Amino acid sequence: MTLSDFHLHTNVSFDGEACAEEMCAAVLRMGLSGAALTDHVEMVDYEKDGIGRVVLRARETAEEAREKFRGRLPVAVGIEMGEPLFNLTLAQEILNYPYDFVLASVHRLGEEPDYYFQDFKGTDIAAEMTRYFDEAARTVAWGRFHALAHLTYPFRYIPKYIPAEKCHADYSLWQDQIDAIFKKMAGTGLALEINTSGLRGQLGLTQPDLPLIKRFRELGGERITLGSDAHRPEDVGAGLRAAAALAAAAGFRYTCSYYKGEPVMSAL
């Protein structure tokens, strides 16, 4: 089984801690077969925070890493685009660059804070997650990306305020929304990311977790990507074997990497 880490951040991202070379070197140390550098581009912050400079620097950094590691490690030039629908015209302009791999994310709703910064005390979690899945559905309907990142993202941070076992045990409240998302993804060939960062925190689960990975397969999903969402070398590759085991348990036979925008299948 060959595994690739297709969700990595460098210090070009506002929350990254290491340069592209250090992150790629960590991929090699972990014995992985490929990597995607997917620095953050948050469309909500694009114009007011000078994200345009970040986009260019992230591309340059990833291109340099691809050349430096050529022959030793395939490095995909990627992007994690947060909230693309907030500025759709600009998002589509950014994506005119021929990225190897595009992750789409929902970290926040409109100009509200990223869920990372939110205080969920007193929040109606059912209503908040309904809003989140609505935005995820709209993002999937847009569809100009390769993989949907860390579905159920708010649950990564809700356990700070609510016991984790009450956050994710029952998806029935949102199952119709989730099913619609998965059917659209399956029908258009979009991949679902199994993000392992939740294994390193209070949540203790991948995002999404096994019931939703199984449901994606049941509804015709065929493509899965694996990502550690590492922001430092120590976390590169963390949990990927566990994520691959979940994919296999859900009925998937392959994971996907993307180069030049095309899926490369690796047997589980």
Closest CA to 263 of 136, 138, 145: 145
The DSSP bridge partners found for residue 264 are 257
- For the chain, what is the mean pLDDT? 93
Is 80 exceeded by the pLDDT of residue 214? yes
Tell me how far CA of residue 114 lies from CA of 4, 94, 161, 222, in angstroms: 27, 22, 16, 30
How far, in Å, CA of 27 to CA of 3, rounded? 10
Lowest mean pLDDT across 11-20, 25-34, 164-173: 164-173
Closest CA to 62 of 259, 212, 267: 259
Torsion 78-197-147-264 (CA) sign: positive
| Lookup: tokens for 216 | 């994606």
Model pLDDT, residue 257? 98
pLDDT by residue (tens digit) across 174-203? 999 999 999 999 999 999 999 999 999 888
Q: In this structure, what DSSP letter does residue 18 have?
A: S
Domain spans of the chain, in order of start: 4-267
Say if strands 34-37 and 4-8 run parallel, antiparallel, or are unpaired: parallel
Model pLDDT, residue 157? 87
Model pLDDT, residue 49? 52
Q: CB-based contacts of 44: which residues, under 8 Å, 6+ apart?
A: 82, 83, 86, 87, 108, 110, 111
Kindly report the CATH number that applies to the domain delimited by 4-267.
3.20.20.140
Closest CA to 7 of 31, 30, 28, 37: 37
How far, in Å, CA of 15 to CA of 38, rounded? 12
Within 13 Å and on the Cβ side, how many CA atoms surround 183?
6
Is 90 exceeded by the pLDDT of residue 259? yes
pLDDT by residue (tens digit) across 101-147? 999 999 999 889 999 988 888 888 889 999 999 999 999 999 999 99
